[in-house]
A and B are shown apart, each in its own frame.
Chain A
Amino acid sequence: KQEVTQIPAALSVPEGENLVLNCSFTDSAIYNLQWFRQDPGKGLTSLLLIQSSQREQTSGRLNASLDKSSGRSTLYIAASQPGDSATYLCAVREGGGADGLTFGKGTHLIIQP
């Protein structure tokens, strides 16, 4: 059974720093991996989707990498801002794309002004 782990569970950094969030998964036979952010009491906002054949995706200050063989993904946030404060969730999809997403528990990120 696929398990997704996110480290650290919580992170607090001063504004302006570059930071890395980690995600690991136990079964490397994934179809794709998606990063989301969730603000308190809200739904999920999709940040980046990486297909299994890709190594990385970029959107603005965000860069996500995928190393399928080692079962790892990282989300890099450049020049962090207070508005980046949220919970970041990593999710993988298996089963040739037919299965539901398996989520990690998330990293709760606080950017100090």
Chain B
Amino acid sequence: KAGVTQTPRYLIKTRGQQVTLSCSPISGHRSVSWYQQTPGQGLQFLFEYFSETQRNKGNFPGRFSGRQFSNSRSEMNVSTLELGDSALYLCASSPRGQAYEQYFGPGTRLTVT
């Protein structure tokens, strides 16, 4: 069974631009969560989607948003990029929700210049 895939793997953007990251969960998994990883803050929870509905959200500004499609694929959008948004963005999927084991993708490395 294929693992969680994320595209693109690397991205360079300029301050003020917006970016969209994509995540395809493991086949059959309906829950997708997003995390931001930085050297200073470590791994922080962004939000979780289950059956196309956002179920939970971490403590991030409204510039960070996401959505989930009927095939469980998810996208994350960051608008008006700031230098501090440079991070590894990780997506995780699980069969039925957050309470179950999370399987992570390889991440998208975003650099904001």
Q: Which residues of A pack against B, CB within 8 Å?
A: 31-32, 34, 36, 41-46, 49, 89, 91, 93, 95-106
User: With an 8 A cutoff between CB atoms, is B105 at the interface?
Assistant: yes
Question: Do the beta carbons of A101 and B97 come within 8 Å of each other?
Answer: no
> 29 interchain pairs (CB within 8 A)?
A31-B99, A34-B102, A36-B104, A42-B106, A42-B107, A43-B6, A43-B90, A43-B104, A43-B107, A44-B92, A44-B104, A89-B43, A93-B98, A93-B99, A97-B99, A98-B55, A98-B56, A98-B98, A99-B56, A100-B45, A100-B48, A101-B33, A101-B43, A101-B45, A101-B98, A101-B102, A103-B42, A103-B43, A106-B42
B residues near A43, Cβ cutoff 8 Å:
4, 6, 90, 104-107
Closest 10 CB pairs of A and B: A100-B45, A97-B99, A103-B43, A44-B104, A43-B104, A43-B106, A49-B101, A105-B42, A43-B107, A43-B105
Bound-state CA distance A43–B92 (Å) is 9
Bound-state CA distance A102–B106 (Å) is 19
Q: Which residues of B pack against A, CB within 8 Å?
A: 4, 6, 33, 35, 42-48, 55-56, 58, 90, 92, 97-99, 101-107, 109
Question: Across the two chains, which residue of chain A brings its CB closest to B41?
Answer: A105
Bound-state CA distance A99–B106 (Å) is 22
B interface majority secondary structure: strand
Question: Do the beta carbons of A97 and B97 come within 8 Å of each other?
Answer: yes
Question: Do the beta carbons of A46 and B103 come within 8 Å of each other?
Answer: yes
Question: Do the beta carbons of A44 and B90 come within 8 Å of each other?
Answer: yes
How many whole Å from A37's CB to the nearest CB in chain B?
A: 11
